[in-house]
Structure 1
Amino acid sequence: MRASVSTTQDLGMPAIYLHLLAELLSTIGVDEKALLKRVGLDPVRLQSTDLRVSQSQASEFVTRAIIESGEPGLGIMLARELRLPLHGALGTAVMSSRTLAEALDLMTRYLTLRAPHLHVKRRQHDGQAIYAISCGIDLGPLQGFIMDAMLFGCASMGAQLTGSPVAGSSIQRRGPEPAYFHRFRQQIPIPVVYGAGEDAIVIPHSQLALPIRFSDDQLAASSKAQCEEALRRLTEDAGFACRVRRVIETSHPFPPKLARVATTLFVSERTLKRRLQAEEASFQHLVDQVRLERAGELLQQTAMNLSQIADALGYADAANFTRAFKRWTGQSPSQYRNQESLPTATSVRRTPASAMV
């Protein structure tokens, strides 16, 4: 029996994927901003390529999106929108590979960065390379959506990498063909076979040597190193405090109430406080960390006045924001904005909680 997302490690989902889904919803007449806010997500923050959304919120958003749009094929629709650069360092590494085999090996190793809890196993059978994809936990409604986006997205990306659909390849899907699939079949560049014993991409072994159109050895090496570092950080940042922070970072309204975050993470308020304390963290310190980082971004990257920034960060007025910012950094917001030194400007990122007491 597989565990559920509420009882296992939550590494989150890249926020950019939900942003893309929200844009899709807007094209089919769904008020995507209102839907995101009902789930407690900030539509603007989802545009970040660095942030991740808790899987419980991602699942709730996808479930509501399917219900409100009346479109169970949203995962397939999203697959059509996925372009390799949207996958961060992994997308760059894949694009820079020499051959299709190298690209698939990278996907196998670093898939956790983009789709946590999915696993790829490769085996050979009768001249075919079979890349079987499985999920280690029960993701609920999110699972079918992710499998659709993953498998059909791979078919599209194979064509992006090599210049045309990979000849002789196919997609295998478990279970019966969904009633909605016939509407999308002609849009998928390779055959899809339902009723298989596993979800998999099948590629003739001879096709694995196909060259990648964007091959770049130097870029491949640097982006692979970035993937290694990102994977290390992601697995190290798997503590409870990181899960809480992830909810805070993408929350609407901001800052979120402790009760809302506890509900999102399927724990009581008391348990949330206790688990944070065990990691020498506190809810308020995490909120203030995110506030400080956002303040730095808004001061450096926008022309918003102090009252607007204070409002965006949940302060009653500019004076309260100014006092807090000066306590954290030793500078007023205006001084910080006017400085020219970028190294100093970036010092607000990931400030330790102990420095904000």
Structure 2
Amino acid sequence: MVEVGAEHGVDVQKCLQDTGIDPETLLHDNTVVSGTQELAVAANLVTATGSASGVGLAVGDRLSLRAYGVWGFAMLTCPTVRGAVEFGIRYLPLTYAVTGLSLRVSGDEACLIVDGDGSSAALRPFLVEREIAVTAGILRAILGESPPSMRVEFRVPRSVSVDYEKALGTPVRFGAPHNAIVTDIAVLDLPLPQSDPLTLTVCERACRSLLNERCSPCVAQNVREIIAEGVTEADLIAARLHLSARTLRRHLAAEGTSLRHLVDEARRVQAIELMTLDRLTVEQISLRLGYADAATFIRAFRRWTGTTPGAYPVR
């Protein structure tokens, strides 16, 4: 994204503004960038380029299969295109993809649908373009060439300023019912030249471990930090994370939690602190936590702890 920004006259500082990323760290292979930071850079790039069509394609074209580490290597070793697609979708959170990706078979065609509806409206065109370009590139990489039947479909009208066919190396249709890569159904059963069951098993084990260690806590922890600042509305939290409220709920559900649970968790901790450390009354605590009255707070406290504030053991 920084490289594409530079090509559009956007300097690195502007691309990385308010992301917490030091430009020097981008020179190191072991630098880890969170999904939230990645989306913040994307938002800066889109803002600076005026949502120029084609920026997402340019970024996606730079994301080769090697850029995805063990996830990308595992796809190369799958037995067929179908196996690679199913593996990629199963471990999609490792890519920090914000758009959804699903496989749909209709008649004699297979559609890899990129669902950008769950992303923020401002970033949606960029993210859809990026994921279409990435997915088309991955399909070429695992097969060694583009399937002759492949085409790309976009929901939006054609932009006269961008040569989409040249950028994607395939026919492109606009005004379609979805954003998708479409091929003949027979492509799904094509064998992959680098298929290796043993290597795939090892790679999948590594992907599963990464999913547990790196991805699961990301969104929930970021939400906890925002709630600690006093922000509890779903739309405001989602905007801070450059997500839609629906995508925020989906990420939290995948991590086994919900916004209500995290808000309740924060309020429970704060309520107990106010009771034990500040010795505030129930009425004062309910007011501090934003409840309409003490009775509402007492009901919430009973739900959290199984008892009332008056019966709670204060140390």
What range describes the TM-score normalised by the shorter chain of this pair?
A: 0.5 to 0.7
Going from structure 1 to structure 2, the CA distance change for 1:54 and 1:122 (only over 3 Å counts) comes to closer
Report how far residue 234 of structure 1 moved.
4.8
Report how far residue 151 of structure 1 moved.
0.9
Going from structure 1 to structure 2, the CA distance change for 1:126 and 1:25 (only over 3 Å counts) comes to same
- 1:216 corresponds, among 196, 211, 215, to 196
Which residue pairs with 2:110 in the alignment?
129
Which residue pairs with 1:99 in the alignment?
80
- 1:51 corresponds, among 25, 32, 44, to 32
Q: Does the CA contact (< 8 Å) of 1:173 and 1:200 recur in 2?
A: yes
Indicate whether 1:82 and 2:86 are aligned: no
- Give the aligned residue type for 1:176: P
Going from structure 1 to structure 2, the CA distance change for 1:171 and 1:221 (only over 3 Å counts) comes to same
Q: Does the CA contact (< 8 Å) of 2:25 and 2:31 recur in 1?
A: no
Q: Does the CA contact (< 8 Å) of 1:129 and 1:205 recur in 2?
A: yes
Deviates more, 1:193-202 or 1:69-78: 69-78
Q: Alpha-carbon deviations, 1:150-190, whole Å to 9, x = none?
A: 112211222222121112011121121234333x4213122
Which residue pairs with 2:273 in the alignment?
none
Which residue pairs with 1:36 in the alignment?
16
- Secondary structure of 1:174's counterpart equals coil
Q: Does the CA contact (< 8 Å) of 2:74 and 2:199 recur in 1?
A: yes
Alpha-carbon distance in 1 for matches of 2:30, 2:68: 9
Which residue pairs with 1:9 in the alignment?
none
- 2:170 corresponds, among 190, 215, 221, to 190
Going from structure 1 to structure 2, the CA distance change for 1:28 and 1:138 (only over 3 Å counts) comes to closer
Alpha-carbon distance in 1 for matches of 2:25, 2:155: 35
- Secondary structure of 2:202's counterpart equals helix
Q: Does the CA contact (< 8 Å) of 1:66 and 1:72 recur in 2?
A: no
Which residue pairs with 1:156 in the alignment?
137
Q: Does the CA contact (< 8 Å) of 2:71 and 2:91 recur in 1?
A: yes
Which residue pairs with 1:63 in the alignment?
43
Q: Does the CA contact (< 8 Å) of 1:162 and 1:213 recur in 2?
A: yes
Which residue pairs with 1:72 in the alignment?
53
Going from structure 1 to structure 2, the CA distance change for 1:170 and 1:36 (only over 3 Å counts) comes to same
Number of matched residues?
Answer: 244
Going from structure 1 to structure 2, the CA distance change for 1:108 and 1:50 (only over 3 Å counts) comes to farther
- Give the aligned residue type for 2:87: L
- Give the aligned residue type for 1:32: V
Q: Alpha-carbon deviations, 1:198-220, whole Å to 9, x = none?
A: 11221211122223233222221
Q: Does the CA contact (< 8 Å) of 2:109 and 2:182 recur in 1?
A: yes
Q: Does the CA contact (< 8 Å) of 2:116 and 2:127 recur in 1?
A: no
Percent sequence identity is 20
Going from structure 1 to structure 2, the CA distance change for 1:235 and 1:26 (only over 3 Å counts) comes to closer
Going from structure 1 to structure 2, the CA distance change for 1:83 and 1:143 (only over 3 Å counts) comes to same
Report how far residue 240 of structure 1 moved.
4.0
When normalised by structure 2's length, the TM-score is 0.64
Indicate whether 1:225 and 2:205 are aligned: yes
Alpha-carbon distance in 1 for matches of 2:101, 2:32: 24
- 1:173 corresponds, among 154, 159, 162, to 154
Report how far residue 146 of structure 1 moved.
1.5
Structure 1 unaligned residues grouped into runs of 5+:
1-20, 248-257, 280-357
Deviates more, 1:70-79 or 1:22-31: 22-31
Alpha-carbon distance in 2 for matches of 1:129, 1:239: 32
Indicate whether 1:23 and 2:3 are aligned: yes
Going from structure 1 to structure 2, the CA distance change for 1:128 and 1:43 (only over 3 Å counts) comes to same
Q: Root-mean-square deviation (CA), in Å?
A: 3.7
Q: Does the CA contact (< 8 Å) of 2:153 and 2:180 recur in 1?
A: yes
Alpha-carbon distance in 1 for matches of 2:214, 2:187: 33
Alpha-carbon distance in 1 for matches of 2:103, 2:56: 24
Report how far residue 63 of structure 1 moved.
3.2
- 2:93 corresponds, among 112, 116, 132, to 112
Q: Does the CA contact (< 8 Å) of 1:59 and 1:140 recur in 2?
A: no
Alpha-carbon distance in 1 for matches of 2:269, 2:72: 37
